[in-house]
Structure 1
Amino acid sequence: MPSSVHERHPPAPVVRERRRAASSWEHSRDDAAYQEVFEAGWFIVPEAQGRGAGSAALTLLIDDARAHADGRRLLTAFPDENNAPSNALCRNTGFTLTGQRADVFRAATLMMNEWVFDLQS
């Protein structure tokens, strides 16, 4: 299992619908590439799915990551390989699929797609 160092930042832009959060982000170190990156993670509550909340939140998050890049070039995301909506969100927002990786979460092995967004593009 890859190791990461996580440091939470102040709250990132959040799109709210009926007072529920739609996104979050954190800073982590990509040990494989030895570079500092941002990692995006999100959830969309069922009643907000398919209504643009994810696209709006990820667009705000990209803008915020660019504004606070501090030398970081990449924003990464790791949705489950079978999570079609989250993978489509990455693809439609300009991320590039770079591969897959396995990780253990709560004693279960998850297969995730690895998406990368170049903050300098």
Structure 2
Amino acid sequence: MDWVGGVETDERVRARHERYLALVPDGTGAQFRITIPGHPEGVGIVGYWRHEWRGEPALESGWSVEAEYRGQGIAPDAVHLMLEAARAAGETLSVHAYPSVDNPASNAVCRKAGFTLLGEEDFEAAGRVLRTNDWVYELAEPPRA
């Protein structure tokens, strides 16, 4: 949580978990466990959910990979699979990601996953306003190679 405002209270963690659990039944998104060979319990999460972008409907995406598995290409691959799953679920909205401007790893994930950088903006996450980059991926366009 270093890049999205720091440590959360148990109450905030439980509330976020409840939101994640409701995404699929509500038809508002999905969360996925990132698994790799030898680690079926998972090494992170990736997902998308409904979001409003400049007054228009959109999707927001996010991911997290456990520290010992970072730098191995796991996150970009997981984001690609999440985008494919969203498209397969019939999603056509723009997908945004908002990594901190100071988070080179997540910005690299966006670039490697085929997102386009729109620019910087202030973004509220976990009750705090952060300076982020706004990256977008257009699901309505053909998949990028």
TM-score interval, smaller chain: 0.7 to 0.9
Q: Distance in 1 between matches of 2:76 and 2:62?
A: 13
Gaps of 5+ in 2: 1-18
Quick check: 1:14 aligned with 2:14? no
Quick check: 1:20–1:45 contact (8 Å CA) kept in 2? no
Moved over 3 A (4+): 10-13, 104-108
Q: Distance in 2 between matches of 1:46 and 1:92?
A: 19
CA change 1:105–1:14 in 2 (3 A) is closer
For the residue of structure 1 that corresponds to 2:68, the secondary structure is helix
Read off the aligned partner of 2:24 and give its amino acid letter.
H
TM-superposed deviation, 1:69 = 3.1
Quick check: 1:63 aligned with 2:78? no
Quick check: 1:9–1:26 contact (8 Å CA) kept in 2? no
Larger relative contact order (Cα-Cα within 8 Å, sequence gap ≥ 6): 1
Quick check: 1:38–1:65 contact (8 Å CA) kept in 2? no
> Identity across aligned pairs (percent)?
26
The residue aligned with 1:27 is 49
- Aligned pairs, how many? 114
TM-score with structure 2 setting the length: 0.67
TM-score with structure 1 setting the length: 0.78
Quick check: 2:46–2:79 contact (8 Å CA) kept in 1? no
Read off the aligned partner of 1:96 and give its amino acid letter.
T
The residue aligned with 2:10 is none
TM-superposed deviation, 1:24 = 2.5
Q: Distance in 2 between matches of 1:21 and 1:9?
A: 21
Read off the aligned partner of 1:88 and give its amino acid letter.
A
Quick check: 1:15–1:21 contact (8 Å CA) kept in 2? yes
More helix per residue: 1 or 2? 2
| Cα RMSD (Å) | 2.3
Gaps of 5+ in 1: 1-5
